[in-house]
Chain A
Amino acid sequence: MQAEIHDRPSFANIRVHLEPGEEIVAEADAMASMSSSIEMKTQWSGGFVNGILKRLFGGESMFVNRFSTPSGGDIVLTQAFPGDIQCLELNGNTMFLQPGAFIACESGVKLGLGWAGLRMFIAREGLFRLKVSGKGRIWFGAYGGIFQREIDSEYIVDTGHLVAYEPTIGIRVAMAGGLFSSFFSGEGLVTRVSGPGRIYMQSRSFDGLAAWTNSHLY
């Protein structure tokens, strides 16, 4: 399977060429266009219960679409909001994705939903997260650009900017500074991540956009 990410970083989309017999799994509604030779099969995302849980808590849809072709063809996948898309190759390891970030994966990848815990809720990252594991490539999207960082000791990320992280990453929610600067610096709470491992961050946050839009409404 050949896959390229085009129009980065603002309006990124994934152009996939499927050889006969290959298939790709994509989030419902991710398909923007495809060859007529490609067949689409819709199925519950990880089973009935898992699908409903993902819809309710994971910010993903209940269904995933499985695209395959007997004769070869192209397909373009995209996400709903402007921003970059990142490809990641799993080699038996696990990755956690923020709700709504998942776009597509190869068929060897397992999708699951995991409880992220109260601390991630406080960090405005959602109570649940998507757990991807297995072997194969996955594509996930973010709002704004995506940048990654290998963490070995400790690093600080503002809440709402974390998109994906490895399970080896420790995460603590903390105040940005002292009591005063936490409240008046506009930073409020931050997440302190500790390594070893890799994190992916988005250069914009939805909360930031919502707050900015709100301030211009009236």
Chain B
Amino acid sequence: MQSTYSGGVFSDTLADGRAGGEVELMPAGIAIRCPDGEFFVIPYRECQVEMGGYHGRMLFCRNPDRSLTIYSEDAQFRRDLSLAAAGMLDEQLAMGNRQRRSESRRSLFYAVAFVAATLVVVVAGYFAVRSGAKAAVLALPTSVDAKIGDAAMQSMTLEGPQVEDPVIVDAMQSIVDRLEPQAAVEGFQFKVHVVDSPMVNAFALPGGNIVVYTGLIRSATSAEQVAAVLAHEMAHVTLRHGLQRAGQSLGIWAGMSLLIGDVSGLMGAGVDLFQTASANQYSRQHENEADREGVRMLQAADIDPAAMTQLFAAINKEQGDLPEIFAWISTHPDDASRIAQVEALIQKLPPRDYRPIDVDWAAVQTQLSDLPANQPPGD
């Protein structure tokens, strides 16, 4: 049997009513010796045993009028006390143990319930924010899109110089003008910016600014193929995907800080997020929506939507040679399944007399190869 156990004592005779000390199990009873030499004893037969303390593992031995309490948290003390008291305290000890076990079961239950409730709130909050963001964005006036898009356009670094050549720019704008009456939402001013860069890419900003890289125009074999890309990008604008994305990220951020409890940084973060998220990649769901809406716009404008899959296929074929540049496919995710989806859409369309786009595509291509960037140096 261990001789002493670290513990403490409460007694009105002590200076502050308490002291630490070494607990001993003596033949006469439970005793404690304090650093200043005070000594207390509670005879075993007068002892009232209780469990408690911060961890619920502390054993309190109190005298009948509760003016003296000796305690220790030593696990060995509990076992040794039963022996030293010759079984006199076993009933009380067993009751304390039962109480402790039921309390620890209860706190385990509450802990599990707390964690589960937090999880439910987080998951439910996430989905609420996602759908809430969409509804909130759609309720905003379209002028908000234009303001944000124009600001983003100005602060953006593009991959190359803007092309001002009237043949190319006018060709792009005339395609957009033909598609514009079919836009699902009125009030957007579509404006095409052609940027000289080998990247096969195009993207739309909220409000109607569309950027097309010359690399994409070059790899298109007909005006209809570019029209397909532009219809897709215009669909992003009319469906307001850019703002929805920004709203979602902002909403998730807001939800997070609501959970953590700090909302002070919300305003600053919001401004940043609107700028970056609007130009970022769209989600797979948004891409599919834009494909569907693009095909609808092409059909309504009497342009053959099959051009969309033709361009996909052409880019896919070339992608093997020059993977990195073909960004329209890679930032606009997917491949075979996406082509299949668009093809399935087209199949279901009623037959229609398609009118060719009134653009001299050969002239556009000639102008493209005459751009300054394509001239050999020193020429």
Contacts and interface: CB of A to CB of B under 8 A. Distances in A.
B9 to A, nearest CB: 8
B60 A133 contact: no
A1 B34 CA distance: 23
A41 B69 CA distance: 41
Most chain A CB atoms below 10 A, which of B54, B60, B264? B54
A92 B19 contact: yes
A213 to B, nearest CB: 9
Contact of A214 (B35, B53, B107, B263): B263
A91 B53 contact: no
Interface residues of B, number: 31
Contacts of A168: 8, 10, 52-54, 58, 60, 71
Given A91-B34, A168-B53, A122 B114 contact: yes
Contacts of B263: 214
Contacts of B69: 196
A171 B20 CA distance: 21
A97 to B, nearest CB: 13
A92 B20 contact: yes
A149 interface: no
A170 B15 contact: no
A170 to B, nearest CB: 5
A94 B8 contact: yes
B16 A91 contact: yes
A167 interface: yes
B267 A196 contact: no
A90 B35 CA distance: 11
Contacts of A198: 18
Most chain A CB atoms below 10 A, which of B18, B19, B71, B264? B18
A167 B15 contact: no
Interface in B235-256: none
Nearest to B18: A93
A118 B20 CA distance: 27
Given A91-B14, A91-B34, A167-B54, A218 B267 contact: yes
A165 to B, nearest CB: 8
Given A94-B8, A194-B52, A133 B20 contact: yes
A217 B267 CA distance: 11
B325 to A, nearest CB: 46
A135 interface: yes
B254 to A, nearest CB: 14
B207 to A, nearest CB: 27
Interface in B5-57: 8, 10, 14-21, 34-36, 52-54, 56
Interface in A111-148: 118-119, 122, 133, 135
A173 B58 CA distance: 19
Nearest to B263: A214
Contacts of A217: 264
B196 interface: no
B145 interface: no
Interface string B102-119: 000001001100100000
A135 B15 CA distance: 13
Given A168-B71, A172-B107, A196-B60, A93 B53 contact: no
A135 B8 contact: no
Given A119-B107, A166-B18, A170-B53, 19 more contacts: A89-B15, A91-B16, A91-B34, A91-B35, A92-B19, A92-B34, A92-B35, A93-B8, A93-B18, A96-B54, A135-B35, A152-B66, A167-B54, A169-B53, A169-B54, A172-B107, A196-B60, A214-B264, A218-B267
18 contacts: A91-B15, A91-B19, A91-B35, A91-B36, A92-B8, A93-B19, A96-B54, A167-B73, A168-B53, A168-B60, A171-B54, A172-B107, A173-B110, A195-B52, A198-B18, A214-B263, A217-B264, A218-B267
Interface of B: 8, 10, 14-21, 34-36, 52-54, 56, 58, 60, 66, 69, 71, 73, 107, 110-111, 114, 262-264, 267
Query: When A and B form their complex, which 9 residue pairs have the shortest distance between CB atoms, in order from nearest?
Result: A92-B20, A93-B20, A91-B19, A92-B35, A170-B52, A93-B8, A168-B53, A92-B19, A167-B54
